[in-house]
A and B are shown apart, each in its own frame.
Chain A
Amino acid sequence: MSTETTETIVLVGHGMVGQRFLEALAERGVTDRARIVVLAEEPRAAYDRVQLTSYFSGRTPEDLCMVEDGFIDRHGIELHLDDPAETIDRTAKTVTARSGRTYAYDTLVLATGSYPFVPPVPGKDATGCFVYRTIEDLLAIEEYAKNSTTGAVVGGGLLGLEAAGALKGLGLDTHIVEFAPRLMPVQVDEGGGAALLRTIEGMGLTVHTGVGTQEVLTANGAVTGMALSDGSTVDTDLVVFSAGVRPRDQLARDCGLAVGERGGITVDEQCRTVTDPDVFAIGECALAADGRVYGLVAPGYEQAETAADTITGERRSFTGADLSTKLKLLGVDVASFGDAHGTAEGCLDVVYSDSRSGIYKKLVIGRDGELLGGILVGDAEAYGTLRPLTGSVPPVAPEQLVLPAGAGGPVQIGPSALPDEAVICSCHNVSKGTIRAAVTEHSCTTVPEVKKCTKAGTGCGSCVKVLGQLVTAELEASGVVVDKGLCGCFAQTRQELYEIVRTLRITSYQTLLDNHGREAARGGDGCEVCKPTVGSIIASLAPTIGADGYVLAGEQAALQDTNDHFLANMQKNGSYSIVPRIPGGEITPEKLIVIGEVARDFGLYTKITGGQRIDMFGARVDQLPMIWARLVDAGFESGHAYGKALRTVKSCVGQTWCRYGVQDSVRMAIDLELRYRGLRSPHKLKSAVSGCQRECAEAQSKDFGVIATANGWNLYVGGNGGATPRHADLLAQDLSDAELIRLIDRFLMFYIRTADRLERTSTWLERIDGGLDHVRGVVVHDSLGICDELEALMADHVANYRDEWAETINDPERLARFVSFVNAPEAPDPTVRFVPERDQIKPEPAELPLLQIRTLEGSAAR
């Protein structure tokens, strides 16, 4: 209980802004000296409402949580979930919660957010009517959608479009009803609305603009349709109201705090209520000193900081904020910034509009040529540089800023044109100067380091691209010459070498080195970095450029890493392991018996791997052909455990047996494994197929993972286990078998073409310019027009696949290499020795006093 000396701060509402306020208190050390009580209405701690919709693409409520592990406990905060504040007594300075508990406060902070506005139409409370604000709302919509085929969203604003995207993702035929004559009336103008409309209709959604909802039609208390103001009706099973939000100010009204005419708790520039100096209001429930209620999170964060500073006696004001936004709605980029609607006197518009491709760009230019604001629809690339330029005269003519590349010169002005004061990250209010200082003064050399140091880019993420450009520019300016070459022999990157090999059809490493290597390296022997890299590039492209597809053919044999050279993985004592392919993890008892017999006859240590197959360890190099002869004879193929190639496609048991399964995941896993087996790539490739959302095959930790849906397959890419785990991103939803395979073909070939050496898809996706959006553009929407070629490359691979081991054991010349000693082919290597352990063998510990091992770059499997 509070003693007389301990100050108590009570926070009502644990939403995004409330949490930020708590963090601000903790940063200022207030949590050490004051008692902090938080009353929260929702059953869960603060979560990322902005990313709410990502729940439907696989993010769990836990992923969305905004409270760092242990934060609440560490700072001794008393957080009461599911217990909203019901009354405030400002005279006694107490708050009473629904549970009946009463808390005395010295300072009260209201952060109660907004509620969705539901127009008062008949039938609005019928079963099947929802709003879109909380995780609970989403869970309810998801459940109800299972028995629905059609959904309608009332409201075509920002949130309405998000809701519509979610309904579409749930497989519903989706309608959007908007009262205004265009979509997103607040953010975009007529031209932008038209571009948006075209694109959204192109996705198969039905849009009704300029009409209101008159009634929700029902039968037996459940929704059946909607009557619209133009006399038409829409049949629908489900309605989501998304017609705007209203500040939650009832609690404040009830205790006599002043509220605005159209709602919102009236506060001053310090976020203190104008009525009571001990009460503050922040976030969407507050009517700021500039007379506005802000429905975006960034201004709310600034209010949270302002309130925290004020409470600790610092001087800080919130006088208003920029309403700039960049969003991705239904996959369409939409951005507006500054005076987007051109309200300033004497301003003029520069507009580029191409409704064919759904692109609309408008810049508002002031009387003196300064940029005042703008709207970008369909292509918002330039947002990151244009927004910070607001208020200044752009360095090039405004026309050039909106014209597409190729139609009028430099479209992009780099971030170097921006002044130091320009705010790059609006979520965290980080200026260009601060970012430059992170590089020059705090010696950050990568974007992740700069993010950590400045917080820039850790909010909505829309500034990350510009951030990357700034970091590179700054590094280059400070004289750090980044040699992007592959190694001491080649000044090109792997991607550049791939293009050279592909276009010039170079099938020999020596030719490549002698004609394209660094001057000093030409005519030499290359090195252990570029040889396997080039070997892999030639192997990936073999059928297309006319090279032999067999990795041990001719010169190619000399390029392969040791493991590829012997088609097995070398172990610490020079012995090898053997991993036959077991597609999808499915295996007949007969084949299992063969593996058992082979392992027994050769005395191999046998282990079930983490990849749903079986590994046999401890074979001498001279035993490999004999072992493989038996395996090939029983129908096994190489599992490529040694190569930078496809490893396994894991599967769960799926629909055939499992009560939850919605597709045959085993069949799909086998199909995929057989299709991509043997494909050489910059790093290993792993995949998995799960039969339903329970995800027993862990597809979201794979380079490409597939999860069954009622309508087909969802494809995830860029997942990784290993040292730096990464959750895969959803690339496309509800694909048919053929669509799925086509997208994977393109995805893999695009990765092989553009990745660096030893770069898994996860790091590649994080590094590549434009990230996931760019990759989606290329492989789903064919934005580069190369999909035909990517598919053809894969078709070549599939048509020309041969099992390396079958080929090797049938080739006496190759087999001659599998000896321990060139001058004593019959003799086993006496240094490869084993000792018993748990009824099997293990390598005998090395006897020589080993040297201290310093691991080098590229060691182990690299």
Chain B
Amino acid sequence: MTIAPERTDVRLELRVADEWFPVCELSALIPGRGVAALLPDGRQVAVFVDRTGTPYAVGNQDPFTGAYVLSRGLVGSADGRPFVASPLLKQRFDLATGRCLDDDEVTIEAYDVRTSVAPPALR
């Protein structure tokens, strides 16, 4: 197997209780779509990158149905702010803040995310 040269091995990390928790390589994500990740305490997060390559993470549970599915929603942007639309009943959530755009009273958890070049151990 050849190693694709454009693979930069940039790692995506999430802040959980003041620790940066590595989730996956950035290249595992398609712009505009998400993946789900499991946190050490069993919580689920939905991780996305938008078209510019900026990453975001929010809780994976859809508060309207209880199902853990937000990672499978479609990403869009409104007024320049990226959101994910739940695949079940289509409510939209701001990816940066977790605020529901279709119901003022609902907010889901939003996580801080960063990218970093993976240390050799992870390569």
In this complex, which of A570, A831, A862 has the most chain B Cβ atoms within 10 angstroms of its Cβ? Answer: A831
| Cβ contacts under 8 Å, A565 to chain B | 33, 72
Interface: B82 (CB within 8 A): yes
| Cβ contacts under 8 Å, B38 to chain A | 821, 823-824, 827
A489→B68 CA distance, assembly (Å): 28
A532 B67 Cβ-Cβ under 8 A: no
A488 B37 Cβ-Cβ under 8 A: no
Q: A525-B77, A829-B44, A856-B89 are in contact. List 4 more A-B contacts (CB 8 A).
A: A528-B73, A532-B74, A572-B88, A830-B42
A574→B66 CA distance, assembly (Å): 9
Chain B 79-107 interface 0/1 with A at a Cβ cutoff of 8 Å (1 = within)? 11010010111111000000000110010
Please pick, from A558, A848, A860, the residue contacting B89 in the complex, using a CB distance under 8 A. Answer: A860
Chain A 463-506 interface 0/1 with B at a Cβ cutoff of 8 Å (1 = within)? 00000000000000000000000001100000000000000000
Task: Supply 6 A–B pairs (Cβ within 8 Å), ascending by A.
Answer: A488-B78, A528-B74, A558-B31, A563-B87, A821-B36, A831-B61
B74 A562 Cβ-Cβ under 8 A: yes
Output the least CB separation between B115 and chain A (Å): 15
| Cβ contacts under 8 Å, A527 to chain B | 74, 76-78, 85
Q: B30 — nearest CB in chain A belongs to which residue?
A: A558
B33 A574 Cβ-Cβ under 8 A: no
B-side interface size class:
35 or more
| Cβ contacts under 8 Å, A816 to chain B | 28
A846→B80 CA distance, assembly (Å): 34
Output the least CB separation between A269 and chain B (Å): 62
User: Does more than half of chain A's interface fall in helix, strand or loop, or is it mixed?
Assistant: loop
B65 A572 Cβ-Cβ under 8 A: yes
Q: A513 — nearest CB in chain B belongs to which residue?
A: B51
| Cβ contacts under 8 Å, B73 to chain A | 528, 562
Output the least CB separation between A344 and chain B (Å): 64
| Cβ contacts under 8 Å, B91 to chain A | 856
A854 B77 Cβ-Cβ under 8 A: no
Interface: A698 (CB within 8 A): no
The A502-542 residues at the B interface (CB cut-off 8 A) are 510, 520-521, 524-528, 531-532
B32 A573 Cβ-Cβ under 8 A: no
A621→B87 CA distance, assembly (Å): 14
Interface: A561 (CB within 8 A): yes
| Cβ contacts under 8 Å, B36 to chain A | 820-822, 829
A817→B33 CA distance, assembly (Å): 11
Output the least CB separation between B50 and chain A (Å): 5
Interface: A566 (CB within 8 A): yes
| Cβ contacts under 8 Å, A407 to chain B | none
The 6 A-B residue pairs with the shortest CB-CB distance, nearest first, are A846-B66, A562-B87, A527-B76, A558-B32, A528-B85, A525-B77
Q: B74 — nearest CB in chain A belongs to which residue?
A: A528
Interface: A788 (CB within 8 A): no
Q: A857 — nearest CB in chain B belongs to which residue?
A: B90
Output the least CB separation between B91 and chain A (Å): 7
The A560-580 residues at the B interface (CB cut-off 8 A) are 561-563, 565-566, 570, 572-574
Interface: B113 (CB within 8 A): no
The A417-474 residues at the B interface (CB cut-off 8 A) are none
Interface: A784 (CB within 8 A): no
Please pick, from A531, A822, A854, A855, the residue contacting B35 in the complex, using a CB distance under 8 A. Answer: A822
Q: A561 — nearest CB in chain B belongs to which residue?
A: B74
Output the least CB separation between A509 and chain B (Å): 9
B72 A570 Cβ-Cβ under 8 A: yes
A573→B66 CA distance, assembly (Å): 7
Output the least CB separation between A561 and chain B (Å): 7
Interface: B47 (CB within 8 A): yes
A831→B71 CA distance, assembly (Å): 14
| Cβ contacts under 8 Å, B22 to chain A | 823
Interface: A219 (CB within 8 A): no
Output the least CB separation between A302 and chain B (Å): 52
A850 B66 Cβ-Cβ under 8 A: yes
A823 B76 Cβ-Cβ under 8 A: no
Output the least CB separation between A591 and chain B (Å): 30
Output the least CB separation between A525 and chain B (Å): 4
Output the least CB separation between A129 and chain B (Å): 64
Q: A860 — nearest CB in chain B belongs to which residue?
A: B89
Please pick, from B42, B67, B72, B103, the residue contacting A854 in the complex, using a CB distance under 8 A. Answer: B103
A853→B35 CA distance, assembly (Å): 25
Output the least CB separation between B18 and chain A (Å): 19
| Cβ contacts under 8 Å, B69 to chain A | 562, 570, 574
Task: Indicate whether A822 sits within 8 Å of B102 (C-beta atoms), given known contacts A488-B78, A851-B63.
Answer: no
| Cβ contacts under 8 Å, A558 to chain B | 30-33, 75
A790→B7 CA distance, assembly (Å): 43
Interface: A559 (CB within 8 A): yes
A859 B77 Cβ-Cβ under 8 A: no
Q: A558 — nearest CB in chain B belongs to which residue?
A: B32
Interface: A837 (CB within 8 A): no
The A829-862 residues at the B interface (CB cut-off 8 A) are 829-832, 846-848, 850-851, 853-856, 858-860, 862
Task: Indicate whether A854 sits within 8 Å of B65 (C-beta atoms), given known contacts A528-B74, A822-B28.
Answer: no
B92 A574 Cβ-Cβ under 8 A: no
A853 B82 Cβ-Cβ under 8 A: no
| Cβ contacts under 8 Å, B32 to chain A | 525-526, 531, 558-559
In this complex, which of B31, B63, B77 has the most chain A Cβ atoms within 10 angstroms of its Cβ? Answer: B77
Interface: B23 (CB within 8 A): yes
Interface: A557 (CB within 8 A): yes
Interface: B118 (CB within 8 A): no
Output the least CB separation between B93 and chain A (Å): 12
| Cβ contacts under 8 Å, B50 to chain A | 525
A561→B44 CA distance, assembly (Å): 22
Chain B 39-66 interface 0/1 with A at a Cβ cutoff of 8 Å (1 = within)? 0001010010011000000000101111
Interface: B24 (CB within 8 A): yes
B77 A570 Cβ-Cβ under 8 A: no
| Cβ contacts under 8 Å, B28 to chain A | 816, 822
A706→B72 CA distance, assembly (Å): 38
| Cβ contacts under 8 Å, A559 to chain B | 32
Please pick, from A572, A829, A830, A859, the residue contacting B90 in the complex, using a CB distance under 8 A. Answer: A859
Q: B24 — nearest CB in chain A belongs to which residue?
A: A822
In this complex, which of B30, B63, B90 has the most chain A Cβ atoms within 10 angstroms of its Cβ? Answer: B90
Q: A847 — nearest CB in chain B belongs to which residue?
A: B66
A862→B82 CA distance, assembly (Å): 21
Output the least CB separation between A856 and chain B (Å): 5
B65 A846 Cβ-Cβ under 8 A: yes
A525→B35 CA distance, assembly (Å): 17
Q: B69 — nearest CB in chain A belongs to which residue?
A: A574
Q: A827 — nearest CB in chain B belongs to which residue?
A: B38
A570→B65 CA distance, assembly (Å): 12
Task: Indicate whether A531 sits within 8 Å of B74 (C-beta atoms), given known contacts A823-B37, A850-B65.
Answer: yes
Output the least CB separation between A562 and chain B (Å): 3
Please pick, from B42, B80, B82, B90, the residue contacting A856 in the complex, using a CB distance under 8 A. Answer: B90
A647→B61 CA distance, assembly (Å): 31
B68 A829 Cβ-Cβ under 8 A: yes
Chain A 782-807 interface 0/1 with B at a Cβ cutoff of 8 Å (1 = within)? 00000000000000000000000000
Q: B28 — nearest CB in chain A belongs to which residue?
A: A822
| Cβ contacts under 8 Å, A572 to chain B | 65, 67, 88
A525→B30 CA distance, assembly (Å): 13
| Cβ contacts under 8 Å, A562 to chain B | 69, 72-74, 87
Output the least CB separation between B57 and chain A (Å): 11
A623→B24 CA distance, assembly (Å): 22
Q: A822 — nearest CB in chain B belongs to which residue?
A: B35
A830→B38 CA distance, assembly (Å): 10
Q: A856 — nearest CB in chain B belongs to which residue?
A: B90
Task: Indicate whether A525 sits within 8 Å of B76 (C-beta atoms), given known contacts A821-B37, A853-B89.
Answer: yes
Task: Indicate whether A851 sits within 8 Å of B106 (C-beta atoms), given known contacts A525-B76, A570-B69, A570-B72.
Answer: yes
A831 B67 Cβ-Cβ under 8 A: yes
Q: A855 — nearest CB in chain B belongs to which residue?
A: B89
Output the least CB separation between B60 and chain A (Å): 9
B80 A524 Cβ-Cβ under 8 A: yes
Task: Indicate whether A848 sits within 8 Å of B72 (C-beta atoms), given known contacts A821-B36, A823-B24.
Answer: no
| Cβ contacts under 8 Å, A856 to chain B | 89-91, 102
